[in-house]
Structure 1
């Protein structure tokens, strides 16, 4: 009779050890947070979509799209480095961050949100902008390139696993969120990455976690704290586009691929398939010492890669 292998206990959430205090933060990130930003919102199909931007209007544009159940502040350690010569706009997709929730979500609507936020935020004033998406945001970027790629200078997809069509996941990940916590610190202590992984930059985890929470009033009139994203987001998402591997020829702009070199989602097998799918002329960048959440693991390296990629010499 066989026995199941013992499983290791789930490690504690990464911010528990700080008891609500902010972890030590390096000077480079404090300086990045001091870079001025503009904020605004735009209406897309009856939902308010929030954005923020760095850099001067009229500079070449760059639009940043966060991952699933994330938000625009995930880019705070990257966007400031790119803003000296660019107008950088990051948005909250509907159902996430400060943007409105919807009854239903779709890739077609997310593509419209990307373009509208980019337009409103000033990313199109110098011509066609580049579009960068991490994880779920990478799939949104691919969908945008398929429908509206003629309006873009190119896209960069960061650790979004594109697999053979028959292997591409077409169902939603498990729902999460919806809990109401009695205090901000209690909620903060529950923050975890999805998919879970270690991350040495606790100051970045703390920063994005603090921007992920909102205070609400319970039905009994008491106050509590909960996550900003729609807890039913995945149940309400319509998969209204073919698997990415089936639409490579439909992309109306060029594409570059990034991954964390230690990513469990874009592993060597998936990475090799993506290279074969998009062809030898495609720019492919593996960021060392980074897992799926490469924009948190190695933000300066990612910023440097995007600096070169979105400069005048690419392509």
Structure 2
């Protein structure tokens, strides 16, 4: 369980798999809000057999220390600091939810370093009607544990085992209040939708059909602006990495083994089938 000190925070990370590069550039997995690096256990177990895989607990999450981070861009700097420390110049980045926002930030600021990108249940701008926006603002006024429990419970698709949801609620509630509440605001303020056309990196957008945290229609709006986006919809909620881990891994595998076009020139998105429904 190695750690790296970055601006006063000890970041815990895993660096697994062969270093010879035979399987391709390293995969970098970035978890979401209140989560930790173990969201990617299934994917890491699969891909680390053939290629280098890196994941971390973001600042203030899991087994990483630190707080005081106020923006998604600051979290992106932590990820890049770790990759620089490990000597990784070019990589494929896979981000879930807030981790996808971090991934987009890196792709925009350092396009030369990102070979491909995968956005799992993530969007470029949180946009809700006035009623939903007011509800989100009011939700921050309830007791902290209730706030966390409500947000995590509704992240799963109907029918997901309750005992497992309770375990995720507890894990999320262990994240420091300052980190949770500050980054909740950071996600609401995050907005790169108008810059989406700048991202020429081949991108897979994979989303849960039942996601009510970051609805599918918002992801599709973003996909239209990407010059090179492939969309895949899976029968799951917002927590796709743990709800349908095998399906997510298979989708990643297929995307990573598909030859990328040499120079995307037009803005288009490939509509994906709804896995398990079509």
Matched, 1:58 2:20: yes
Q: Tell me the matched-pair count.
A: 248
Q: 1:97 to 1:191 in 2, by over 3 A?
A: farther
Whichever of the two has the greater Rg, that structure is 1
2:140 is aligned, of 164, 174, 177, to 174
Matched, 1:231 2:191: no
What is the alpha-carbon distance in structure 1 between the residues aligned to residue 143 and residue 91 of structure 2?
34
What is the alpha-carbon distance in structure 2 between the residues aligned to residue 249 and residue 68 of structure 1?
26
> What is the alpha-carbon root mean square deviation over aligned residues?
3.5
Whether the 8 Å CA contact 1:165–1:246 is kept in 2: the answer is: no
TM-score between the two structures when normalised by the length of structure 1: 0.66
Aligned to 1:264: 212
Aligned to 1:49: 11
Structure 1 unaligned spans of 5+: 1-38, 180-189, 214-226
Whether the 8 Å CA contact 1:55–1:85 is kept in 2: the answer is: yes
Structure 2 unaligned spans of 5+: 262-278
Aligned to 1:157: 119
Larger relative helix fraction: 2
Structure-to-structure mapping, 1:1-315, within 5 angstroms: 39-59=1-21, 60-120=25-85, 124=88, 128-163=90-125, 174=140, 193=152, 195-197=154-156, 198=158, 200=160, 212=171, 227-237=173-183, 239=186, 243-251=191-199, 253-279=201-227, 281-287=228-234, 289-311=235-257, 313-315=259-261
Whether the 8 Å CA contact 1:61–1:86 is kept in 2: the answer is: yes
1:237-281 superposed Cα distances (whole Å, 9 cap, x missing partner): 4749861212213436332211012222454532432232225x4
2:112 is paired with a residue of what secondary structure?
A: helix
1:154 is paired with a residue of what secondary structure?
A: strand
1:131-178 superposed Cα distances (whole Å, 9 cap, x missing partner): 011111111111111122221112111111345878797x87738997
TM-score between the two structures when normalised by the length of structure 2: 0.74
2:76 is paired with a residue of what secondary structure?
A: helix
2:110 is paired with a residue of what secondary structure?
A: helix
What is the alpha-carbon distance in structure 2 between the residues aligned to residue 261 and residue 161 of structure 1?
14
Whether the 8 Å CA contact 1:52–1:121 is kept in 2: the answer is: no
1:160-205 superposed Cα distances (whole Å, 9 cap, x missing partner): 1345878797x877389976xxxxxxxxxx7983544346367865
